[in-house]
């Protein structure tokens, strides 16, 4: 019996996606609910699972094709076995074949199991994927794995004489992923619609660094998660947003919407770029709860298992470019939100404290906001409140 594999529902208002990669090929045996393909949507990559057990038949679309919800992308022959699609082995080959079938299957690390971005990374870096330990779902090798292996590879010795240049110049054209197209469209829409302005401040990280160093071991032992800086910043932002509600608001038509809750969008790295899941009701979470949520988002973003509903909504965004070494930036707001906080790298700088020049670990803060809703006074007041809370974390405990 032949069963059709169709594109599943992709979420509210999403009607199509892009076939990112095939995880199975014709003739492969599959189990019920086993992933056979990955789809890229406007927000995140999801997997298409086998509705029945059997053998993969025809693949009706190619990688990179756009497919609509409900479209047939493959067929499965129910009740078959992988050997059914291959010629019968000779007598002397049966024993090895049987042994091979009994051996547990291991995740493939060849180029045929790689995503398009991982393939490009392998080609650009010269890293052999079969030598790399995969950290993706089911042990698959991701682009991040390839790039990490390339970074750790010892540099090749310089040649005695530089080879003669061929004189040619090369270009490579790579189709934008659906996620990248959507990001580009939304960012440009934000620039065209909002009256964006960015206000800066800096913050002395000494107190937070000291608290983290003092309690990180006890914190991890009790809560099972590392104590980072984001927990402090989310808590401080929640407190500042409560005092300056316009920064947590949005414009809908000719109305301003104020929220009595804080849903914080946090940018985390995924194999295909940054994704922005949402910490719901951050005002009700402890620092430990925030860190656990962010840690879970980061892990599942790397595995490609974030759900669509986890990417929707959000009343305020925090983007930490400091993890990549950024000194200062002007982040772009994520509509319909009206503000985004940019964090940057921490570096020792000379500052004046009580008339004395001292060296302190400083970070630049950037708040980009929609000037249609948020006045400069409110933006500055928000940043000052955030700065005060970070420089004196006791304020977070006694609600100042």
For 89-108, what is each residue's pLDDT tens digit?
Answer: 443 444 444 434 444 444 44
Average pLDDT of the chain, as a whole number = 83
The number of domains in the chain is 3
What value does the mean pLDDT take over residues 24-28?
90
Question: 334 and 205 in one domain?
Answer: yes
Residue 114 pLDDT > 80: no
Question: 367 and 274 in one domain?
Answer: yes
Helices 376-391 & 206-223 angle (0-180, nearest 10)? 70
Given 105, 130, 163, the domain boundary residue is 105
CA 33 centroid distance within chain:
24
The bridge status of strand 54-59 relative to strand 72-78 is antiparallel
Confidence bin at 199 (pLDDT 50/70/90): very high
| 395 or 261, higher pLDDT | 261
Question: 318 and 252 in one domain?
Answer: yes
* Cα gap 364→247, rounded to integer Å: 19
What value does the mean pLDDT take over residues 197-217?
95
Question: 306 and 202 in one domain?
Answer: yes
Backbone angles phi, psi at 324, to 5 degrees: -100, 0
160 within some domain: no
| 162 or 393, higher pLDDT | 393
Question: 129 and 100 in one domain?
Answer: no
Q: Residue 107: its pLDDT value, please? A: 44
Percent of all residues in the chain with a pLDDT value above 70, rounded to a whole number: 82
Question: 364 and 239 in one domain?
Answer: yes
Residue 284 pLDDT > 90: yes
Question: 185 and 140 in one domain?
Answer: no
Q: Residue 168: its pLDDT value, please? A: 79
Q: Residue 239: its pLDDT value, please? A: 95
Q: Residue 248: its pLDDT value, please? A: 96
* Cα gap 146→132, rounded to integer Å: 7
* Cα gap 291→293, rounded to integer Å: 5
Question: 74 and 112 in one domain?
Answer: no
Here the CATH number for the domain that contains residue 230 is 3.30.559.10
* Cα gap 33→104, rounded to integer Å: 18
Question: 289 and 214 in one domain?
Answer: yes
Residue 152 pLDDT > 70: no
Q: Please identify every residue annotated as catalytic.
A: 371, 375
Residue 85 pLDDT > 60: no
Q: How many helices (H) and strands (E) does the chain have?
A: 9, 19
* Cα gap 29→110, rounded to integer Å: 18
Structural domain containing residue 120: 107-151
Question: 89 and 135 in one domain?
Answer: no
Question: 337 and 381 in one domain?
Answer: yes
Residue 340 pLDDT > 60: yes
Backbone angles phi, psi at 57, to 5 degrees: -95, -115
Q: What is the token pair recorded at 162?
A: 């530089």
Confidence bin at 359 (pLDDT 50/70/90): very high
Backbone angles phi, psi at 9, to 5 degrees: -60, 135
140 within some domain: yes
Residue 233 pLDDT > 90: yes
Q: Residue 103: its pLDDT value, please? A: 41
Determine the longest span between alpha carbons in the chain, in angstroms.
91
* Cα gap 136→163, rounded to integer Å: 39
Residue 77 pLDDT > 80: yes
Here the CATH number for the domain that contains residue 72 is 2.40.50.100
CB 338 within 8 A of CB 305: no
């Amino acid at each position: 019996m032949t069963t059709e594999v169709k594109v599943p529902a992709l979420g509210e208002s999403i009607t199509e996606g892009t076939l990112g990669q095939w995880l199975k090929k014709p003739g492969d045996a599959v189990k019920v609910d086993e992933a056979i393909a990955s789809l890229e949507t406007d927000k995140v990559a999801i997997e298409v699972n086998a509705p029945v057990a059997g053998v993969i038949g025809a693949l009706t679309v190619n990688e990179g094709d756009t497919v609509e919800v409900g479209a047939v992308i493959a067929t499965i022959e129910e009740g078959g076995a992988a050997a059914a699609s291959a010629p019968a082995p000779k007598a002397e080959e049966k024993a090895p074949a049987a042994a091979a079938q009994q051996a547990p299957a291991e995740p493939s690390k060849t180029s045929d199991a790689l995503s398009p971005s991982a393939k490009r990374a392998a080609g650009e870096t010269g890293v052999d994927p079969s030598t790399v330990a995969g950290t993706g779902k089911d042990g698959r090798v991701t682009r991040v794995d390839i790039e990490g292996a390339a970074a750790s590879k010892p540099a090749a010795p310089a040649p005695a004489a530089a080879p003669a240049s061929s004189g040619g110049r090369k270009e490579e054209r790579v189709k934008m992923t659906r996620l990248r197209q959507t990001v580009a469209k939304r960012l440009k829409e934000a620039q065209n619609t909002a009256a964006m302005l960015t206000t800066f401040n800096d913050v002395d990280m000494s107190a937070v660094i000291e608290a983290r160093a003092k309690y990180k071991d006890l914190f991890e032992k009790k809560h099972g998660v590392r104590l980072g800086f984001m927990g402090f910043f989310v808590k401080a932002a929640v407190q500042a947003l409560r005092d300056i509600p316009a920064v947590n608001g949005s414009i809908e038509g000719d109305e301003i919407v104020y929220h009595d809750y804080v849903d914080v969008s946090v940018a985390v790295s995924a194999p295909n770029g940054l994704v922005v899941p949402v910490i719901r009701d951050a005002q009700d979470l402890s620092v430990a709860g925030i860190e656990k949520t962010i840690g879970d988002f980061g892990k599942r973003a790397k595995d490609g298992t974030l759900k669509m509903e986890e990417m929707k909504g959000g009343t305020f965004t925090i983007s930490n470019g400091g993890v990549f070494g950024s000194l200062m930036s002007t982040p772009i707001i994520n509509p319909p939100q009206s503000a985004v906080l940019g964090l940057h790298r921490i570096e020792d700088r000379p500052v004046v404290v009580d008339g004395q020049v001292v060296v302190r670990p400083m970070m630049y803060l950037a708040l980009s906001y929609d000037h249609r809703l948020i006045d400069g006074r409110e933006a500055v007041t928000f940043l000052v409140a955030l700065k005060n809370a970070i420089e004196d974390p006791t304020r977070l405990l006694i609600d100042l």
